[in-house]
Structure 1
Amino acid sequence: MNKVTKDGKSINVALIGYGFVGKTFHAPLIQSVPGLNLTLVSSRDAEKVKRDLPDVTVVATPEEAIHHPDIDLVVIASPNATHAPLATLALNAGKHVVVDKPFTLDMQEARDLIALAQEKQTLLSVFHNRRWDSDYLGIKEVIEQGLIGNVKHFESHIDRFRPEVRVRWREQNVPGSGLWFDLGPHIIDQALQLFGLPQSVQGNIATLREGAEINDWAHVVLNYPEHKVILHCSMLAAGGVQRFTVHGDKASVVKATIDQQESQLLAGVIPGSEHWGEDSDDLVVFDANAQPKPHSTPKGDQRQYYIQIRDALSGKRSNPVHPVEALAVMAVLEAAVKSSDTGTTQTLSLTDSERAKLQ
């Protein structure tokens, strides 16, 4: 791995894309991490960028950002179909690369990027930021402490209520769009972090809203030898759904509401400030007699992703999200789509070598 922090030199970052994800997540998180210097943004709307980031250089094209001689790390937060071609360009230019989720449109694109990063000896990572969400960290803590025994049923929902179809690429019938490729990577990655690879996948993916062009509802089951994992996302859930419901052989735990960091970022809260990542919604553990007991929810902190990227580039730790882990997420995404299309249970299209790296 090339090291780009020598003698205290900060890592110069170029952000490609300043839409919702680039503006809301990447820019504030990068700026909150000492040692990372958001130097340049590629956007067609320079005025929008300058309102938020007056000291940042704005260029019109991704190519200008990638080939800028002062840039060490390229963060790709542009539409999903551009992830693979832009990451390829950046890796070939000798840059380190962070790609927003989903990694790519398909597994072959992901494999090609992994091979190229290995060839160029550069860091390639995928922004699976929800590993540092309060709700997930709380559920993980309860499971690891053995408070519910052995997990038998794990259910993860990210639901929204958006009955009206919006005019934006994520809701148009273009490559990489749809709710499953938008929210699926978050809940898949969390499940794989907890339980590893499933034996098989059953998917049911649908388009339910009037006028919708692409899927807006997904219900996916990951089959494990001793338990089941249910992953669900919908655009038509106004309320009444738990974020997590987990049943073990000794007790159960539920988490009602989602991590608040996205809401905080939208409200202009500075990452790392006094109340950053706080979650006042306790988990509730139900014992064998169905008696509820609150369990405090730990703070979330998505800054940790970029803190660990910085430390990986300075040789202090490993890549926080190795690309083969993101490839595994792609394998589940694809298996669920194929299962839904064919009505059959699917196994993951991972090689023995890839599986070995995920152990």
Structure 2
Amino acid sequence: MRDMKGERIEPRIGNEKADPADAKSGRRNRAAETARDSRRESAATSRVVRDVLLDSPSSRYVPPDLPVAPQDGKVKRERGYTKASPQGRRERDTGQKTGRTGKKFWRSRNSSWINRKLGAVVFLVGLCLGIYWVSGPVAKVFERPIKSVVVEGDFNFITKQRATELIGNEIDGDFLQLDLMRLKNALLGDPWVEKVTLNRRWPDTLVVKIAEQKPIARWGDGFLNQRGEIVLVDEASKLSGLPWLQGNEADAPEILQQYQDLSQLLRSRGLEVIALKCDNKKSWRLTIKNHVEIALGRDQVMEKMRRFVTVYDTQLSNIWLDVKAIDLRYTNGVAVRWVADSAMARKYIKSQAQVKLPTPAASVTPQIN
């Protein structure tokens, strides 16, 4: 229990009188307690002042509402705080420490980069040495001669013996050292060869597949393939059964296309085109089997051929053997020349004699409308 001034009051029970010794002891206790309270308040005030000093830019700044700690003695700082001074010593120390830390960081980074580079160089050197050491035995395994050559394909114009001879001239290496591109070019150098496929079959076999050209028609000293390309050959006797196309080399694809269109139209009537010519004036003339020549002119070629087919179906199919030539260069009809001394030729000559017309030459060209 304390009085109004904060001093401790000992309780009394009954009417007992206070002992002078006890009263003196109580005063000493109260004085000790007061001193302890004063020290606690002084310590709290000092702690507040220290916190303010650390947060403020100047140690001379003191908030007006806080009590000022006594400056007569050094105050012990709590753990975790560093010494602060108005000259900025702390900042200098921090910069020095940061510089030392940065140097250590770059030094460690440079050393790690050098270590990685050295490790990579050592790895590459070891890898190269390993490959060099292993390549010898591996090369001996794969260095083996070619023991057999398999030639596949349809041989209609080039003989299999000729193909084998071309292949044998180019095989001069081992199984893996053979130059396949050179061998392929050698085979493609033959005009009858269109495509070549080469394959290695383990352990010592070479497979050669040859695709021949497909001649569609004769052209000069060679032939036209399916793309309208002119292929020259040394011996054209094998092409004697093909139709013969003539014209400018620049017009070869167009002439081939015209031949195919005309052949498709006439094939249904049993008529076969054996020759087709296009001169410098773009005038077309074709020859049908049994050597019947048909003049088509320069324009409306397919329309004129349809007109001929109509006349053939109605007038000429039964007497086709007597026909020598046909001219389709008219706008609304066709002219027919008969074979000399044929039945149709004698018939027309006799009919002209009955009407007292001048006797024509052996070959006449009446017009059929």
TM-score (norm 1): 0.20
Higher share of residues assigned strand: 1
Higher share of residues assigned helix: 2
Larger RCO of the pair (alpha carbons < 8 Å, separation 6+): 1
Larger radius of gyration: 2
TM-score (norm 2): 0.20
